[in-house]
Structure 1
């Protein structure tokens, strides 16, 4: 048999690459019809998971787990964008399979009880998001398991992390509000301080405000959802009624804020400019369209998988942990009063 890329099977069956991967790794939650269709195509195309032979000879499972907690897995992180490989493509090219799983509350309290570690031997872990507790992540690192955390949290030692250029991005978008939109009474809507992305974006905002000799104004919340954006709008209008701009920690908060502002009779951007961070799909379709910092999840996934493969290639070693940064890009739209041409 020859190695057939999962993307070829996906194209032949009309499903996503991640769905094919889940079928091949016996992941639950796949309908029997889809499973049968994918397996039939794999047999017809003479697919063979080329990691199997290597697993026998190297005593490795040739499997990596991708874990998240209380948030949907980013398909952009896992699979390729139009011009960039994600986690799955990098691992597949190296002969590894990928398991995708959520973490239960009980498992968060007892990392050694993770089903994916007890039931399926894996060689390494990629963790996504800051909602995981520092204690959980630290225990995984202490177990000696190779771990890379994408968009992680503070308070964990010996951990490799992949992050956006959060501070630079927030600083740039705040400068834009001052220089291009003439805003001066700018409020930052922050997430939890122990989330690295939130803390760094706040720092970038504060750096820019001080550079313009303006007073930073920060309102902190314990989550970063659209519902938080609604609450943030009400809090802002009560606490800072003279505010003329908002730098939201992410797009979800910004979109929730804009919706509530409109309900309360505040015109965005005439009365108040609003910006986000991430450039999620809603950002280009909100009303008004959202000025934001574009991030590149597929590149973050590629960097995370590449670093994990490096760790897996050095068993028994403890290389110094890396913090890997992925760039961001300002996208000017209607919500700040100026747009890209």
Structure 2
């Protein structure tokens, strides 16, 4: 016998259950809590109880009355573990507080999708768009906030990391450990951060008197997410035969791929080669060895982007509006980097050994 559907709780019943006024509960449900200075703890209590007891707000009726959709669109390169998902979680944190709905699309670096998605979102009456490491090249009739997009156009607010500080932190750490022969893995050409981050690395190296050997600079090419592109480019690095004692990778998943390739070649991290990543995704601390990395506050970047977009939608951003909002990195030292002893030894290859040949430093923490 089919079970009867559970009757959703009403606003009056929800307010009585929580011993709050109906107006307070309504303001929280309808995204007006901030304007009425309702405590965060009370907001969370109401939203939790509403979800637990099946309360359904009449959002459609509210939208029709106010000519609003309370919906934003989020554009990302791909939805995979790491960068995008952490940023999206921060976006969600802020939107939930204000009763906004959002949907996410991933373009996988396809030009047709990059061009078509903003139009698709506008057709669905979004009130604003957040683009994560994704170029939006046309002017839109709704507010746009760009995370790591470096989109210098009127009406667009960018959420950006201080790459100069990040590069200085990373290279200062490797220099302190004695590394002189550093290999660099640059990001893919399509990533918005690639050029700016590399410019910051070149300047930091100049300031720290670190020589960059062009023969030790490699670039990711594959658009595939995950560690595979990092494995591939590190194999090319090893096959070059150039001596190096450390790798500074474009991001953590690349660093994880690099470590895998180094192990396949019979090398130890960090005793033979130190590896430094970028982003500080969740997997970085759980990898073996735990990854030394530049912490990019990804969740905070999502939160700032969402709160900024909501302020733009409400016309609460002062004019002229800022071109960019800067967030700052920090160095997280774990076990994948160690001291170099400045004494190169040749790792040779016999007939029954696995390739490739590498000259490296036998150093340890």
| TM-score between both structures, scaled by the size of structure 2 | 0.70
| Structure 1 residue 143, shift from structure 2 partner | 2.7
Question: For 1:162, which of 159, 162, 178 is the aligned residue?
Answer: 159
1:76 maps to: 86
Question: For 2:72, which of 59, 64, 67 is the aligned residue?
Answer: 64
1:173 maps to: 170
| Structure 1 residue 166, shift from structure 2 partner | 2.6
Q: Secondary structure at the match of 2:158?
A: strand
| More off after superposition, 207-216 vs 250-259 | 207-216
Q: Contact conserved, 1:191 with 1:221, CA < 8 A, in 2?
A: yes
How has the CA–CA distance of structure 1 residues 95 and 280 changed in structure 2, closer, same or farther, with 3 Å as cutoff? closer
Q: Secondary structure at the match of 1:219?
A: strand
1:25 maps to: none
CA distance in 2 between counterparts of 1:322 and 1:51 reads: 34
| More off after superposition, 317-326 vs 167-176 | 317-326
2:91 maps to: 87
CA distance in 1 between counterparts of 2:338 and 2:292 reads: 9
CA distance in 2 between counterparts of 1:225 and 1:156 reads: 32
| Structure 1 residue 202, shift from structure 2 partner | 1.8
CA distance in 2 between counterparts of 1:246 and 1:49 reads: 54
Question: Over residues 184-232 of structure 1, what are the superposed CA-to-partner deviations in whole Å (9 max), with x where a residue is unaligned?
Answer: 0112110135534222322232223222323214222234741111112
| Structure 1 residue 161, shift from structure 2 partner | 1.5
Q: Contact conserved, 1:248 with 1:274, CA < 8 A, in 2?
A: yes
How has the CA–CA distance of structure 1 residues 312 and 216 changed in structure 2, closer, same or farther, with 3 Å as cutoff? same
Q: Secondary structure at the match of 1:259?
A: helix
1:289 aligns with 2:290: yes
CA distance in 2 between counterparts of 1:59 and 1:324 reads: 30
1:188 maps to: 184
1:150 aligns with 2:156: no
Q: Contact conserved, 1:153 with 1:194, CA < 8 A, in 2?
A: no
Q: Secondary structure at the match of 2:188?
A: coil
Superposition pairs of residues 172-251 of structure 1, within 5 angstroms: 172-179=169-176, 181-193=177-189, 195-217=191-213, 218-222=217-221, 223=223, 225-239=226-240, 241-251=242-252
Q: Contact conserved, 1:162 with 1:326, CA < 8 A, in 2?
A: yes
How has the CA–CA distance of structure 1 residues 212 and 67 changed in structure 2, closer, same or farther, with 3 Å as cutoff? closer
Whose helix proportion is higher, 1 or 2? 1
Query: Of the two, which has the highest radius of gyration?
Result: 2
CA distance in 2 between counterparts of 1:112 and 1:270 reads: 48
Q: Contact conserved, 1:124 with 1:312, CA < 8 A, in 2?
A: yes
CA distance in 1 between counterparts of 2:85 and 2:331 reads: 22
Q: Give unmatched runs, 5+ long, in structure 2.
A: 1-10, 12-24, 30-41, 340-365
